[in-house]
Chains A and B, each alone.
Chain A
Amino acid sequence: QVQLQQSGPGLVKPSQTLSLTCAISGDSVSSNSAAWNWIRQSPSRGLEWLGRTYYRSKWYNDYAVSVKSRISINPDTSKNQFSLQLNSVTPEDTAVYYCARGRSWSYYDFWGQGTLVTVSS
């Protein structure tokens, strides 16, 4: 059974960097059949895909256009986890952030528990 365990701060100041980590058990971040995603949810924006990282002989990343200029998703093979960094946050980035395993380029079958991140001074 795949499990995703999220960690990271729940409060970030405006203009600073939001950083979250998703530890994977039951699968590998280097899997050739999965992609590792970050998704957020807020009342104003609903469920919003942020980006993904995946390994297919080399590492690839895809990011949502809305955050492309300030996002980075990185794998850590030594710890079997992946991370999210979102720079220059504003209160609009306040949301519950989820990590999720993507399969067949089309759906998410396992999700982390979610982390409420509030952007406030």
Chain B
Amino acid sequence: EIVLTQSPGTLSLSPGEGATLSCRASQSVTSSFLAWYQQKPGQAPRLLIYGASSRATGIPDRFSGSGSGTDFTLTISRLEPEDFAVYYCQQFGNSPPMYIFGQGTKLEIK
């Protein structure tokens, strides 16, 4: 079974800075099945990135995704106050069908 490990667990940054969040898979995964979500307290997760690098509808271009194989990255350039939240990566596996989430990275205001 694939395990997704996100790092760091917590990232403390200031508005205006850039953020780099990592998602590492325990085995090579299909890039088209890798997604990123943002979650704020009391809210459902919101889709940011799908297919490893495609932005979802309405997502600002300061959010970008990259990576392949076992290593994937979510980059946020020029942090805005509303970007401080928890971020999750997610992968779909086909045998048997299942969806796996990472444990999350909390992006907090420094």
Asked whether B47 lies within 8 Å of A109 as measured between CB atoms, the reply is yes
Instruction: Evaluate contact between B47 and A108: CB separation under 8 angstroms.
Output: yes
A47 to B39, CA, bound (A): 11
Interface size, B (range)? 20 to 34
Residue-wise interface mask of A (10-47) relative to B, using a CB-CB cutoff of 8 A (1 in contact, 0 not): 00000000000000000000000000010100000011
A49 at the interface (CB under 8 A from B): yes
B88 contacts chain A at the CB level, 8 A cutoff: yes
Q: With a CB–CB cut-off of 8 A, which chain A residues contact B103? A: 46
Whether A111 pairs with B44 at a CB distance below 8 angstroms is: yes
Known: A106-B92, A107-B35, A114-B44. A48 touches B98 (CB 8 A): no
Decide if B50 touches A65 in the complex (CB within 8 Å). Answer: no
For the residues of A in contact with B, the DSSP-based class is strand
Q: Which residue of chain A has its CB nearest to the CB of B54?
A: A107
A48 and B44 in contact, given A106-B50, A107-B90 (Cβ under 8 angstroms):
no
Question: Which secondary structure characterizes the binding site on chain B?
Answer: strand
Complex Cα gap A91–B59 (Å): 37
Which of chain B's residues have a CB closer than 8 A to the CB of A47?
45, 88, 90, 101, 104
Partner of A46, one of B34, B47, B92, B104: B104
The count of residues in chain A whose C-beta lies closer than 8 Å to any C-beta of chain B is 23
Residues of A within 8 A of B (CB): 37, 39, 46-49, 52, 62, 64-65, 98, 100, 103-109, 111-114
Measured CB to CB, the residues of B under 8 A from A are 32-35, 37, 43-47, 50-51, 56-57, 88, 90, 92, 94, 96-101, 103-104
Q: For the A-B complex with A46-B101, A107-B90 known, give 18 more contacts whose Cβ atoms are closer than 8 Å.
A: A37-B99, A39-B99, A46-B104, A47-B90, A47-B104, A64-B98, A98-B44, A100-B44, A105-B33, A106-B33, A106-B51, A107-B47, A107-B50, A107-B51, A108-B47, A109-B57, A111-B46, A113-B44
